[in-house]
Chain A
Amino acid sequence: MPLLELTDVHARYGQVRALHGVTLTIDEGEIVALLGANGAGKTTTLRAISGVVARDGGVAFDGKPLPRSPEAAARAGITHVPEGRGILAELTVRENLMMGAYLRRDRKAVADDLERAYQELPWLGQRRNQQAGTLSGGEQQMLALERALMARPRMLLLDEPSLGLAPLIVQEFFRLVTRLNREQGVTVLVVEQNANVALDVSNRAYLLEVGRVALEGQSAELREHEGVRRSYLGY
């Protein structure tokens, strides 16, 4: 049974339809990439899953229908790191991390996870009382990831994490993502413009074109696919 299953999902912004029936499945423990050009519906797919936009069609998580609201998605174990990272700019780094653990009741384990985050990224610990809005873009992206982990999610939705970041930081970011996936079994659905990076880190990928799945397959195979190579990898 797949962990997440989308069946013929439609979504729209007001009168503008953005998804025309997306069907995809993600198994527990996978990293799946969602590729496509601007406006193909990648971000909207993530928003439809977490319930930020109105949607029709079936969304099942862990075998159960997923209610359409961000709060419900978070409660089900899905943490969506939105485009633009969703940092709480006026709160401190520490407060941002604590908000990641908002739904958890195990205070001691939360405190341990906070320490672990500080050990993983020592600069986070040093700047724990700094306003998160004063961090650089790359630092904010790392904070957003660590905050998402504070929720101990079963599934991470990452929206364009590489946007506007230096290549080295993108590498560091995805190194952390793959490690979490390996060590903690977190399932990941990542939307990326940077198809190269996305195909590197993912097991499988879906290619969206104008609100529909145009192609799917193992990431290694898609890398060799003629159309993908020409349109998205640029060689």
Chain B
Amino acid sequence: MTQFVQQVVAGLGDGAIYASLALALVLIYRATHVINFAQGEMGMFSTYIAYALIVHHGWSFWPAFVFTIFVSFVGGAAIQQTVIRPLARAGELTIVMATIALLVLLNGLASWIWLPDEKILPNPFPTGTWSIGDVQIPQQSVYNLVIVLACVVLLWLLFNFTKLGLALRASAVNPVASRLLGVRVTWMLALGWGFAAALSAVAGILAASAQFVFTPTFMQVTIIYAFAAAVVGGIESPLGAVVGGLALGVTINLLGTYLDEFVTPDMRLPVALAILLVVLILRPAGVLGRTVVRRV
């Protein structure tokens, strides 16, 4: 039982990172109707920005964290305006190809600027544990979870209780009708990309601090978990992405603990994708995805 609770908490900590990245995918999917294959690399690039601020420019962690999120937000919006927006007329497949190009580009750029060797992001979190009875709660997992949930709650408040949030949702649902109501839809799309970039920055920085060393490829497995989480949750459902990410983190951790002969660390990704397949066969729209009811 003790081990079970510990593994659940550790799983939530990993899952928070998948959740944050999955939510980024969902935001862009809802706004632009494409999967952004570069989402993980955007997070990776942001992590290097934070790294450069901390290690090369002597910033302390938290100011660097906040500033990186801000820069990522602006960068994400800029990518939408300069790369994605001109391709809007070309169709969704073209945009998907552009995101794949971005993936390769950002990866190459990071290797070129910061070199592809292993870097260390100073970990701002205590690596110890809290003891509750026999249970040892890993502190870093709890911090990951709290930070990601705080971001999720902020976004949820923004989307559901502000005029801007309403306009963002309207633009995603029906861009032409929204423009006729006076909404500058391209700005809304840019904001959506900005939020997604900010979320992936959070995911990248937390992942890099958790795994001690990182290289330009360190998000490439995480993004696959995030794809799985987003699709399992229902690719159009923000709540689904968060729940999917957390559930995936916990499941993988528990399987790795209790079926450790079969689910070795190398087997975790295949198992995650197997779960994805099973869920999609049973519920093609994802667990929390809903088929939109529409009368004509």
Cross-chain contact of A99 among B178, B184, B292 (Cβ < 8 A): B178
Residues on the A chain within 8 Å of B179, using CB: 52, 69-71, 74
- Tell me if B178 and A133 are in contact (CB < 8 A): no
Q: Are B167 and A52 in contact (CB under 8 A)?
A: no
Q: A95 to chain B: which residues have CB within 8 Å? A: 166, 169-170
B160 CB to nearest chain A CB (Å): 10
Tell me if B293 and A88 are in contact (CB < 8 A).
no
Q: Give the contacting residue for B167; candidates A99, A131, A134; CB below 8 A.
A: A99
Quick one: given A133-B295, A136-B295, are A90 and B183 in contact (CB under 8 Å)? no
Q: Assuming A99-B178, A102-B163, A133-B292, is B183 touching A88 (CB within 8 A)?
A: no
Say how far A101's CB is from chain B's closest CB, in angstroms. Answer: 9
Q: Which residues of B contact A131 (CB under 8 A)?
A: 293
Chain B residue nearest to A85 (CB atoms) is: B177
> How far is it, in angstroms, between the C-alpha of A20 and the C-alpha of B183 when the chains are bound?
30
Interface string of B170-181 (1 = CB under 8 A from A): 100110111111
| Least Cβ–Cβ distance between A25 and chain B, in angstroms | 23
Chain A count of residues within 8 A CB distance of the other chain? 32
* B43, chain A: closest CB distance, angstroms: 28
Cβ contact within 8 Å between B180 and A87: no
Least CB distance, B178 to chain A, in whole angstroms: 7
Task: Find chain B residues with CB under 8 A from A133 CB.
Answer: 292-295
- Of all chain B residues, which has the CB nearest A52? B176
Q: Which residues of B contact A (CB under 8 A)?
A: 163, 166-167, 169-170, 173-174, 176-184, 292-296
A133 vs B291: C-alpha distance in the bound complex, in angstroms? 12
CA of A88 to CA of B178, assembled, Å: 8
**Extra pairs beyond A90-B169, A102-B183 (20, CB < 8 Å):** A52-B179, A69-B179, A70-B180, A74-B179, A74-B182, A79-B181, A82-B180, A88-B170, A88-B173, A89-B173, A91-B166, A91-B169, A99-B166, A99-B167, A99-B170, A102-B182, A131-B293, A134-B295, A137-B296, A151-B181
| A103 contacts partner chain B, Cβ-Cβ < 8 Å | yes
What's the least CB distance linking A213 to chain B, in Å? 24
Q: A74-B181, A102-B163 are in contact. Are A91 and B295 (CB under 8 A)?
A: no
Contact present for B292 and A100 (CB under 8 Å):
no
A 80-114 contacts with B by CB, 8 A: 80, 82, 86-91, 95, 98-100, 102-103
Contact A86 B293 (CB under 8 A): no
Residue from B167, B182, B293 with most neighbouring chain A CB atoms (10 Å): B182
- Asked whether, in the complex, the Cβ of B166 is within 8 Å of the Cβ of A74, the reply is no
For residue B189, give the distance in angstroms from its CB to the closest CB of chain A. Answer: 14
Closest to B296 in A: A137
A-side contacts of B296, CB under 8 Å:
137
Question: Does A91 contact B173, Cβ atoms closer than 8 Å?
Answer: yes
Question: Cα distance A75–B182 when bound, in Å?
Answer: 6
**Do B174 and A102 have beta carbons less than 8 Å apart?**
no
> B173 touching A90 by the CB < 8 A rule?
yes
Q: Is the CB of A50 within 8 A of B180?
A: yes
In Å, the complex CA distance between A99 and B176 comes to: 13
In the complex, A87 Cα to B163 Cα: how many Å?
Answer: 18
A87, B176: Cα distance in complex, Å: 10
Between-chain CB contacts (< 8 Å), 10 pairs = A52-B179, A70-B176, A70-B182, A74-B180, A87-B174, A88-B174, A91-B166, A131-B293, A134-B295, A136-B295
**Residues of chain B lying within 8 A (CB to CB) of residue A151:** 181-182
Q: Contact: A137 with B167, CB < 8 Å?
A: no
